Amino acid sequence: MGQLNGKVVLITGAAGGIGRATSKLFIEEGATGVVMVDIWDQMGEKTAKELGPSAIYIHADVSKESDIKKSIDFTIKKFGHLDIVFSNAGNPGAGGRIEEIDTDEFDHTVAIHLRAAFLYMKYTIPIMKKQGSGCFICTSSVAGFQQGMGSFPYSLSKAGLVHLVRIAAVELGAFGIRANAIAPGFIATGIFGQGYGLTREGAERLADLMKKTPSDGQAIRRAGLPEDIANAALFLASDSNSFVTGITLKVDGGLLSGRIPQDPQENMERWWEMISQLNPEEQQIITSRMEEGAQKAMEDLKYMIPEVRERIVKRMQKMVERRKQILDSES
């Protein structure tokens, strides 16, 4: 306790998931003020009220440079200094194949993840230089290290954050300023539900179900929790770790050490069992999105190398048959 006594912290994406868990932990560790930045006003205001007078919520869209400036100015006006910036806000990113991604959606994804982290550094560095100290933390992802763990612009942005903190660490070390990142694995947060098109509330319900579902594809066989990332952020933020800079801390349950082979049918059964606990409308949204993806995959089959196409068709047929059996049994 008390690792952050007297510190002022700004956390983006603070209304839900990782940001909310980190806000709570940082206040418990003695932070004088935690400025919670998000666009989910209802949950942000509710959470700040629950956390007490040290937490203050401010509406700001980190894809907008003016809103980033506004949140920094607010923090300095309120507290007089800013010690830690946790650039954590994110979205699932524009999905689809490279040739399908809308340019504006690509730009928006990069703006939220990579450009926002850069801009928070740009406008906070002069403040931290005068203080003679400061700490930047960015939320990267396993998707920044390995293909197939996120959408294309999301993954590209997360990889950029890994290098951003390396560059910043070297540039800022002489001023007593550190920069690090965290690469979460599959953490049970609302970002997955948002990726399927659910509302923020529906996405939170799915995240709660994910927390209770085993994750057998990694060394640690449980779902990752927002608190796991919050604890990593505390490690990087604490002055007791002042010799740590320029790293990306992988908090992934061992996922990047090597995926554990799994039975696709068993995974599918577990998935359908989980989403069957959502309301009918939410189930339909997820099902429709999955069917759209399957349809696109089917359309691509005709262009694939024949031997690859044959293997994929057989696998898809088995999964479709098994899914039908599951749905029939539920009916």
pLDDT over threshold 90, residue 172: yes
Looking at the predicted structure, is the pLDDT value of residue 42 above 70?
yes
* pLDDT (0 to 100) of residue 261: 75
Contact 16, 190 (CB under 8 A): yes
Is residue 310 scored above 80 in pLDDT? Answer: no
| End-of-domain residue from the set 223, 257, 291 | 257
Q: What pLDDT is attached to residue 331?
A: 58
Whether 210 and 152 map to the same domain: the answer is: yes
pLDDT given at position 206: 87
pLDDT of residue 284: 87
In DSSP notation, 74-135 reads HHHHHHS---EEEE--------S-GGG--HHHHHHHHIIIIIHHHHHHHHHHHHHHHHT-EE
The helix-helix angle for 152-172 and 103-110 (nearest 10°) equals: 30
pLDDT: which is higher, 10 or 96: 10
Q: What is the share, in percent, of the chain residues with pLDDT greater than 70?
A: 94
Count the domains in the chain.
Answer: 2
| pLDDT for residue 29 is more than 90 | yes
User: Annotated active-site positions, please?
Assistant: 154
Q: Do 240 and 271 share a domain, yes or no?
A: no
Q: Are residues 205 and 108 in the same domain?
A: yes
Cβ atoms 191, 22 nearer than 8 A: no
pLDDT, the chain, mean:
90
Q: In angstroms, rounded to a whole number, what is the distance separating the alpha carbons of residues 242 and 84?
A: 13
The pLDDT of residue 227 is 97
| Confidence band for 320, pLDDT divided at 50, 70 and 90 | low
Segment of 24-28, 297-301, 323-327 carrying the highest mean pLDDT: 24-28
Range of the domain at 31: 8-257
Residues 289 and 220 in one domain: no
Say whether both 177 and 323 belong to one domain. Answer: no
pLDDT tier, 288 (very low <50, low <70, confident <90, very high otherwise):
confident
